[in-house]
C-alpha cells in the first residue's frame, strides 16, 4: 500500500475551523471554506447552497466537516431564551442529521473522502459573556457533554471522525476546555496556538492530506469575521485571510 500524493483539502464549518488556517497556511491545496455562525442544523434544508459552493471544487479533494459548536454553544442557548426550549436530545439529533446529511450529499456529488473533525469544546466563560450576546446562560459542562456526545454519535452514523476532545477537556467529569487551552482574554474559541499541533496529529495520517506549514505560528493574528449570512447573500466564500 503506497501513500497518496497530497490532494486538495476542503474544510467546511464554523469559526472554530480557523485552526486549520494556522496549520496549513496559504497553500493552494487548502480551501478554508468556513464561516462565522455556520450551523449544521441550518444545512438540513440547504442542499442547494452546499451544491453551489462545492461544485467548482475537485472531486478528489478530502472534505472535513467542522460543525457543532455554533449549534450547541450559540443556537441552543438562543432557542432556550427565545422559546423556553428544553429538548436538548432533540437539538443534538438535529445537529447529527445536519452533519450526516451534508456528508451524504457530498458523497453523491462525487466527494469520496468526507469526514468530521472536532477541535473545540465549550469554554467556561462568565455569564456576562453570554448575556451580552442575548443568550441564555447554560452550564458549560452541559454544553461540553453535548459536544462529546455529538463526536461519539457521528461514527455510529457511519462518518469517519477525528477528535482531540479527550485531550483538551479539563476532566472526564468536567468536559469543558482546560485552562491551558483557553485564551488569555475572554473568547469562546480555544487558543489555536495551543491546539494546532494536536489537531495536526489527529489528521496527519489521513491519505492525501496536504503538508502542514513549515513552521508553527507562535501568536494569534487578528480574527477577521465573515458570517454565513454574508456568504449566502453574496455567493462569495470568505476572503483568503491566511497568514
Q: At what angle do helices 76-83 and 88-108 cross, to 10 degrees?
A: 130
Q: Is residue 198 part of a domain?
A: yes
Q: Is residue 108 part of a domain?
A: yes
CB neighbours (10 Å) of residue 193? 16
CA distance 42 to 91: 12
Give 240's pLDDT tier (boundaries 50, 70, 90): confident
Altogether, the residues listed in the chain come to a count of 243
Q: Is residue 242 part of a domain?
A: no
C-alpha cell at 141: 459542562
What digits encode the pLDDT tens for the residues 95-129?
A: 999 999 999 999 999 999 999 999 999 999 999 99
Structural domain span for residue 36: 9-229
> What is the pLDDT at residue 72?
98
Q: Is residue 201 part of a domain?
A: yes
Q: CA neighbours within 13 Å on the CB side: how many for 12?
A: 23
Q: Is residue 235 part of a domain?
A: no
Predicted structure pTM score: 0.96
| 3-state DSSP assignment of residue 71 | helix
CA distance 90 to 228: 24
Give 1's pLDDT tier (boundaries 50, 70, 90): very low
Q: Is residue 3 part of a domain?
A: no
Q: Is residue 1 part of a domain?
A: no
Helix, strand and coil content of the chain, in percent to the nearest 5, comes to: 45, 15, 45
- Residue 194 in this model has a pLDDT that exceeds 60: yes
What digits encode the pLDDT tens for the residues 7-24?
A: 999 999 999 999 999 999
Give me the helices (H) in the chain, please.
Answer: 19-24, 47-54, 69, 76-83, 88-108, 127-131, 140-156, 165-168, 192-203, 228-234
Residue 118 near residue 162, CB atoms below 8 Å: yes
- CATH code of residue 127: 3.40.50.1110
What digits encode the pLDDT tens for the residues 121-169?
A: 999 999 999 999 999 999 999 999 999 999 999 999 999 999 999 999 9
Q: Is residue 2 part of a domain?
A: no
> What is the pLDDT at residue 140?
98
Total domains present in the chain: 1
Residue 9 near residue 64, CB atoms below 8 Å: yes
CA 200 to chain centre: 14
> What is the pLDDT at residue 243?
81
Amino acid at each position: 500500500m503506497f501513500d497518496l500524493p497530497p490532494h486538495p483539502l476542503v474544510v467546511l464549518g464554523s469559526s472554530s475551523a480557523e485552526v486549520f488556517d494556522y496549520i496549513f497556511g496559504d497553500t493552494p491545496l487548502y480551501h478554508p471554506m468556513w464561516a462565522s455562525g455556520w450551523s449544521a442544523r441550518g444545512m438540513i434544508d440547504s442542499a442547494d447552497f452546499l451544491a453551489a459552493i462545492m461544485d467548482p471544487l475537485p472531486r478528489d479533494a478530502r472534505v472535513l466537516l467542522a460543525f457543532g459548536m455554533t449549534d450547541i454553544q450559540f443556537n441552543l442557548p438562543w432557542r432556550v431564551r427565545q422559546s423556553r426550549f428544553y429538548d436538548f436530545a432533540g437539538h443534538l439529533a438535529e445537529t447529527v442529521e445536519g452533519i450526516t446529511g451534508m456528508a451524504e450529499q457530498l458523497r453523491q456529488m462525487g466527494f469520496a473522502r468526507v469526514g468530521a473533525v472536532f477541535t473545540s469544546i465549550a469554554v467556561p466563560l462568565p455569564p456576562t459573556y453570554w448575556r451580552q450576546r442575548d443568550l441564555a446562560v447554560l452550564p458549560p459542562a452541559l454544553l461540553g457533554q453535548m459536544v462529546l456526545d455529538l463526536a461519539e454519535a457521528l461514527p455510529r452514523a457511519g462518518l469517519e471522525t477525528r477528535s482531540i476532545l479527550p485531550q483538551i477537556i479539563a476532566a472526564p467529569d468536567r468536559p469543558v476546555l482546560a485552562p491551558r487551552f483557553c485564551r488569555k482574554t475572554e473568547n469562546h474559541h480555544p487558543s489555536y496556538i495551543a491546539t494546532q499541533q494536536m489537531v495536526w496529529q489527529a489528521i496527519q495520517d489521513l491519505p492525501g492530506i496536504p503538508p502542514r506549514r513549515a513552521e508553527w505560528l507562535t501568536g494569534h493574528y487578528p480574527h477577521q469575521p465573515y458570517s454565513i449570512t454574508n456568504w449566502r447573500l453574496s455567493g462569495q466564500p470568505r476572503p483568503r485571510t491566511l497568514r
